[in-house]
Chain A
Amino acid sequence: MPNDGAAADPAATPRPTPPAVPPSGHPALSRHVRMRFDRTRERYVLLGPESVIVLNPTGADILGLCDGQRTVSDVAAELQGRYDRVVDDEVATFLARLVANRCVEIDDGP
C-alpha cells in the first residue's frame, strides 16, 4: 500500500470548532456521503471516504428528515412531535458535529 497513513489515527487530527447551526438553514447530507442501514450492526450508518459513522436511532431520524427542503427548525419541530419532548439542542449539536465532519451541508438560502 502506498504508505497513505491508513494505519494512523485520523481522529488525532484536530477538528475545527463546530460552526453554529442557523435554525433557518436547510440541512442535507453532503453528496460525498451515503446513509444506509447496516444489517450486521442493526443501525443506520454514514459512509464517507475515510469514515464510518454508526448512528444512534435519534441521529438516523434527524438525518432522515434532512432533505434540503426542511429547515433546521422544521426538523426539530417534526421530531418534537414524534418524541413528545423538546429536541432543538440535540438537533443543533448533532448537525454541528456532522457539518464539522463535512457529512452535512447547510444551505442558508431562503
Chain B
Amino acid sequence: MDRDARMNRPFGLLAELTYRCPLACAYCSNPLELAAYNDEMSTAEWQRVFTEAAQMGVLQCHLSGGEPMLRRDLVDLVRTAAELGMYTNLVTSAIGLSRSRAEGLKEAGLDHVQISVQADEPVTSDRIAGIPSFERKLEAAAVVKDLGWPLTINVVLHRQNIDRVAEIIALVEELDADRIELANTQYYGWAWRNRTALLPSREQLAVAEEIVRAAREHLAGRMEVVHVLPDYYSEYPKPCMGGWAARQLTVAPNGDALPCPAAQTLPLPRASVREDSLERIWDGSPMFTAFRGTSWMKDPCRTCDRRELDFGGCRCQAFQLTGDAARTDPVCHLSPDHAIVAEVVEAANAGTRRDEEALVPRPHRG
C-alpha cells in the first residue's frame, strides 16, 4: 500500500449487526425498509469484515444496530475485534445487558459501553421507547460502572423531551457516567418520518443551550458533555462524518458497505462486503468515491471558502430534501434550496403547535 493510500484509511467502523430491536423509538435513524435487512451476516462473515477493517487501518469498532445485544454471537464478535487491537464500543439500548452477559463481554475485551436513555423519568422514556425499559436501563448502567467500564449515556433530544434537559443531565450525573451525549435528532429513517413531531422550537433550543452550557461548567473534570445542535437551526451544515468516505465507514446487517448509515437512501450502486473486500470497496466503489473530496461540488460550494471545513454538508440530507445528492445541503443558508429548511423551521415555531404530537413508532423488525 502506498503512503497516500495508507494516510487516507478510515479510523472507525460502525458495525450495524442487526436492525432488530426490542424498542421502537420514533427518532430511530434505521432505514424505513427494515425487511430488506433480515438476511443478516453470519459470525464468520462479520469476523472476516473486522479482520479486513483492522488490516486497512481501522482502529475503532462500534458495535451497533438496532440492538446488538440481540446477536447471540456478540461475545465472539467483540473478542475478534479486541484481538485485532481495535477499540471496541458497544452502542446499546441496554435491554438484554444483564450482569452475566456484561461479564462475558468484559472478559472478551469490550472497552466501552454507550447506553441510550430517552428521558429522565419512566413515563416519557417508556412512551418514546415504545416499551417499558427505563428501569432496566438504569440497572444496566449501574452494572457497567460496577464492572469498571467507562460509560457514555446518549440522549437523543427532540421537541418532546428537550424541555427536561436539566433533569436528564441530573439523572446521568447520578448514574456516574463519564460522558453524556446530548444529540439533537438528525432526520433520517424513522426520525425523518416523524420530523414534524420531533423538531423543537427556537425557544426550546435556546433554553436548552443555556442549561447545557451551565452544566458543562459545573461538571468540568467529572463528566464530558457533548452537545450536538440541530443542523436545521445552524447557519452552516455539519461536516458530516468528517467528509464523505474520509474517516468512517458503516457496514449494515446484510453486508452493505456505506460511507454513513443514512447512505442507503442514495441512488448509488450497492457495495456489499459479501461480494467484495472492504479495501476495494473503500478505494474504488462508486458508493465511496462519488462524493469523496471536493471535485463533485457545484456552486455555491465549489467556490466557497468553507468547502474543506464542512464538505458541502450532508449528501443524504441534500438528496432527501432536493432529490439531488450533489447539491449543497439545504441547511446551509447559502444554499439555493434553503427555503425548504426555512419553511420547516417556521412551521416548528408557529404558535399554534402542540408539543406532543403523535409519533409513528418504528417496528421491532421488518
Q: Which residues of A contact B220 (CB under 8 A)?
A: 16
- CB-based contact A4/B59 at 8 Å: no
- CB-based contact B59/A52 at 8 Å: yes
Instruction: Given the known inter-chain contacts A2-B64, A41-B57, A47-B59, please indicate yes or no for A32 contacting B178, CB distance below 8 A.
Output: yes
Minimal Cβ-Cβ distance residue in A for B260: A7
- CB-based contact B229/A12 at 8 Å: yes
- CB-based contact A2/B6 at 8 Å: no
- CB-based contact A1/B29 at 8 Å: yes
Instruction: Given the known inter-chain contacts A9-B238, A32-B178, A47-B87, please indicate yes or no for A4 contacting B116, CB distance below 8 A.
Output: yes
Q: Could you tell me how many residues of chain B have their Cβ less than 8 Å away from some Cβ of chain A? A: 65
Q: Which residues of A contact B28 (CB under 8 A)?
A: 2-3
- CB-based contact B59/A7 at 8 Å: no
Q: Could you tell me how many residues of chain A have their Cβ less than 8 Å away from some Cβ of chain B? A: 30
Minimal Cβ-Cβ distance residue in A for B185: A3
A86, B167: Cα distance in complex, Å = 49
- CB-based contact A2/B25 at 8 Å: yes
B85 beta carbon closer than 8 Å to chain A: yes
Q: Smallest Cβ distance from B41 to chain A, in angstroms?
A: 16
A22 beta carbon closer than 8 Å to chain B: no
B16 beta carbon closer than 8 Å to chain A: yes
- CB-based contact B112/A2 at 8 Å: no
Q: Smallest Cβ distance from A101 to chain B, in angstroms?
A: 8
**By DSSP majority rule, is chain B's interface helix, strand, loop, or mixed?**
mixed
Instruction: Given the known inter-chain contacts A38-B57, A47-B59, A52-B59, please indicate yes or no for A3 contacting B156, CB distance below 8 A.
Output: yes
- CB-based contact A49/B57 at 8 Å: no
A38, B9: Cα distance in complex, Å = 12
- CB-based contact B154/A38 at 8 Å: no
- CB-based contact B14/A1 at 8 Å: yes
- CB-based contact B188/A3 at 8 Å: yes
Q: Which residues of A contact B12 (CB under 8 A)?
A: 52
- CB-based contact A49/B238 at 8 Å: no
Q: Which residues of B contact A9 (CB under 8 A)?
A: 238-239, 242
B27 beta carbon closer than 8 Å to chain A: yes
- CB-based contact A13/B227 at 8 Å: yes
Contact with A along B37-76 (1 / 0, CB 8 A): 0000000000000000000110110101100000000000
- CB-based contact A8/B242 at 8 Å: no
- CB-based contact A40/B56 at 8 Å: yes
Which residues of B are at the interface with A, using a C-beta cutoff of 8 A? Answer: 1, 6-7, 9, 11-12, 14, 16, 25, 27-30, 56-57, 59-60, 62, 64-65, 85, 87, 89, 91, 93, 111-112, 114, 116, 150, 152, 154, 156, 178-179, 181, 183-186, 188-189, 191, 216-217, 220-221, 224-229, 231, 238-242, 248, 250, 260-262, 314
Can you list 14 residue pairs at the A/B interface with Cβ under 8 Å?
A1-B16, A1-B64, A2-B93, A5-B183, A16-B220, A19-B221, A31-B150, A32-B112, A40-B56, A41-B6, A47-B60, A47-B87, A49-B150, A102-B178
Extra 19 A-B pairs, beta carbons < 8 Å, given A7-B261, A49-B87: A1-B65, A1-B250, A2-B64, A2-B156, A3-B186, A3-B189, A4-B156, A6-B261, A13-B226, A32-B150, A34-B111, A40-B1, A41-B7, A47-B59, A49-B89, A49-B112, A49-B150, A50-B179, A52-B12
The 9 A-B residue pairs whose C-beta atoms are closest, nearest first, are A5-B183, A40-B57, A47-B87, A32-B150, A5-B228, A3-B29, A49-B112, A8-B228, A52-B11
